[in-house]
Structures are given as structure tokens and as C-alpha cells.
Structure 1
Amino acid sequence: MFSQRKPDPFFIALLTIAELVQEAIHYADDFKVETAADLKEVSIRLKKYEKEGDALIYDLTTKLNKSFMTPIEREDILQLSLRMDDILDGVEHFAAHLEMFSLIEIDEYVQLFMANIVKSTDEIVKAVKLLSRKKLVEMRDHAILIKKYEGICDEIYRTSIKQLFVNEKDPIRIIQYKDIYEQLEDIADYCQDVANTLEAIIMRNA
């Protein structure tokens, strides 16, 4: 099924999307927020990442609609691209909510969530690079790691919600932080969706 010639344009497109997701997540994790203006800057920049992702998805979908032959099932290509785009949408929403709530000081749970989401996007890029080199079976280890990090985020979510209701007395802050934790848990779930899609591609093509 796979040609041994140069990487297929569809694989190149998928890798471009994966690397954009990785860049956006690293940007969100690395940015040091000290003022409300910083929150606004992060929100605006992540909105740009989200729009760039939408443009890449549109280009890929257009190519799929025009192409007679694809290196793997066109549905798998589209599904993988859309699941990665969900991560971009999720981190854009997360940043928008931080800015909306003016939450300058993030807590240890937000940091733990982001650390594991960063690791997940790193694994996504590694896996998609293997896909572009037709090394499908080797992708499985990276999918397993992504699921591991999602499991860690599940534990972080449960602990963060429990501690929030135990320690926070301000009902508004409870609402705000609960929303932020849920946003981050959603992003971790989107990463797991990518891992599931990768495993489906392995199953159908390896």
C-alpha cells in the first residue's frame, strides 16, 4: 500500500498540523503571565494558532476531495487531522477563559495538567513522523504514552476538584477554577482521541 518514495503530501500535511499543535501547547505552557495584558496577549496568539489550524484542515480537506489515491484511507487522514485540531480549539478556549476570568495566578494543578498535555503533544509529533516514514507499528508506543498522560490528567482532575471544594471559600472562584480544570481535562481527552485514531490506523494498515 505504501510507496517507498518521498513522503506523501498527505503525511506532510498531517505532520504540519501536529507540529502546529505542539508549538501552540508549548507556547501556552511557556508564557509567563504577570498581568491582565499578558493574558490578553496569550489569548490572541492562541486564537491565531487556532485559525492557522483551521486553514490547514481546510487545505487538507480540499486535497482529499480532489485526490483519487491516498496513502491510507481518506477517512483516517481526515479523522486524525480533526482530532489534532480539537486540541488547538481546546487550548484556545482555555486561554480565552483565563483571560475572561482574569486568572493571572495559576495553581499547581494547572501546571500539572499542562506538563502532561505538553508531553502528549510531543508524542503526537513523534508518532506522526513515524507515520510519514511508514513505520506504523512503532507508532503504538507513542499512542500508549499519550494514553498514560491522559490517565495522569484524570487523576489531576479528580484531585484538583476535591481540593477546590475543600479549600476555596469564594463561590465565584470555585466556578472559575472548576471551569478551567474542565477545559484542561478536555484537552487531555482530545490528545487521547488522537492516540485512539493512531491505533485505528495501525490496526487497518500495519
Structure 2
Amino acid sequence: MSTSAYPDVMADVYHHGSLRQALLDEARRVLLDRGSEAVTLRELARRTGVSHGAPARHFADRDELLDALAAQGFDELSRQLERAATDGDMTERFRSYAHAHVRFALSTGPLMDLMFSRIAVHPGRPPTAATDAAGRFFALGARLLGERDPSRVSPLPYLLAGTLEGISALAASGRLPQDRVAEVTDAAVSMLMPVIRGRLGNDPAGG
């Protein structure tokens, strides 16, 4: 039986926000398979088996859905990085952090691109779910690097982020062979550790 004759029947299958997450899950699959331009509310409704109007219950428009997808990506990355940076001495924690960041970028390239495209600075633009989640992501990196004042962050977090994003971009474009990604990531950590140790050396939690 076609669900189009009963446009709300399939939507009623979802409860307590599960349709929202189902839409985000499908949006991620479409994004990774076909790129951001293929992510539309109509396509997601078709893939989840609900009426064309059902996604509007959770997302006002495509822009709001993409923002939520980017926010989810930042929160997922933050959780992975936080878990990676909990064990071992200072060097081991930062090596685990670096490898986790690069792995995430390589496995979710289009998502990573979407995440950072959603947080471009636009004067006067109100905060969004993506900018809030990005703030938590950047705050995690700053804390790990011993930054105490988020309004006066040193160049170090930017240097670390730029290094890891650069490695990921090189690997994703084929300019860095896949079998050398781990080697180059380890080398980057070794080069940055003297600076990181200089900042964290007097921190009792530094290891």
C-alpha cells in the first residue's frame, strides 16, 4: 500500500524525537555518499518513508537541518577526542588526540567540510546549534593545551588544528599516501610536543 494515501501514518511510527534523529542519520548518509547538495528535506522524507511535510515538524528548512547535522558532527568529534586524550602521559594523550582527529576527518570528509563551513564568521549572525557545538569543540582543544582565557587564546590551538586539518586534507586529496598518514601524524606530534610541554610543563595534570 502506498503511504501517500495516508500522509501521516508513517510519521506516527516515530515517537519522542526519533524521526528527528532518523532524518539526521539519513542526511549524513546522503552527505557522505552524494555531497551536501543532495541533502534535501524531500529526499530525506522519501528515504525515511514519511510524508513530505513531516520533516517540517523538526526542521524549519534545509538550512536548519544542515546546521543540526554539523552540530552533531562537532559533538561526535569532541567526544572521540576527549576519550582519546584521557590515558597515558602527555605525549601519548596528544598522539591519541591527533590520530583520532585525523581518523575522523578521513572517515567523514564531507561532514567535516560541512561542519567548518557552517561556522564561518558573519557579523551580527545569532548563534546556532553548529556554532555552539563548535565552541565546545574548540574549548576542549584549548583546555588540553592549557589555555585559561578563551578570549585571549594563544596561537597554539590554531597551530595544532591547522596541522591536523592539513594532514587530513593532504590524505583526502591523495597527496599523502594512506599508508603514511600515521607516520606523518606522529611526526607532527613530535614536532609540536616541545611547545606543548613548554605550556603544560608546570601543570600538575600535564603528566
TM above 0.5, yes or no, is no
Higher relative contact order, chain-length normalized (CA < 8 Å, sep 6+): 1
TM-score (norm 1): 0.32
TM-score (norm 2): 0.31
Between Structure 1 and Structure 2, the one with more helix by share is 1
Q: Which has the larger radius of gyration?
A: 2
